[in-house]
């Protein structure tokens, strides 16, 4: 199992907009470089990309949840 960590502090978003589907849903497969969410810092959005591949992603934080740098966003098998 590998952990995907927040690269910076901010607000974590699982989709690009409220009316859009999430980048990844719990249980989805993930490839290296896949966008799993966005971190918003002072109205600037930064893509969070997977640095590992896996067969089953499980998110550890909710949409629009504040996160700190290094916080676990998701785990991948």
6-65: pLDDT as tens digits: 999 999 999 999 999 999 999 999 999 999 999 999 999 999 999 999 999 999 999 999
What is the total residue count of the chain? 77
Residue 5 DSSP symbol: E
Q: How far is C-alpha 43 from the geometric centre of its chain's CA atoms? A: 17
Helix then strand count (H, E) for the chain reads 0, 7
* pLDDT number for residue 18: 92
The domains located in the chain, with CATH, are 2-76 (2.40.50.100)
Q: What is the pTM of this model?
A: 0.92
Cα torsion through 58, 18, 40, 73, rounded to 10: -10
């Amino acid at each position: 199992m590998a952990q995907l960590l927040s690269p910076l502090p901010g607000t974590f978003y699982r989709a690009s907009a409220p009316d859009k589907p999430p980048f990844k849903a719990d249980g989805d497969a993930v490839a290296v470089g896949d966008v799993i969410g966005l971190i918003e810092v002072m109205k600037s959005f930064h893509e969070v990309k997977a640095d590992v591949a896996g067969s089953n992603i499980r998110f550890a934080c909710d949409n629009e949840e504040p996160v700190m740098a290094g916080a676990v966003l998701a785990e991948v098998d």
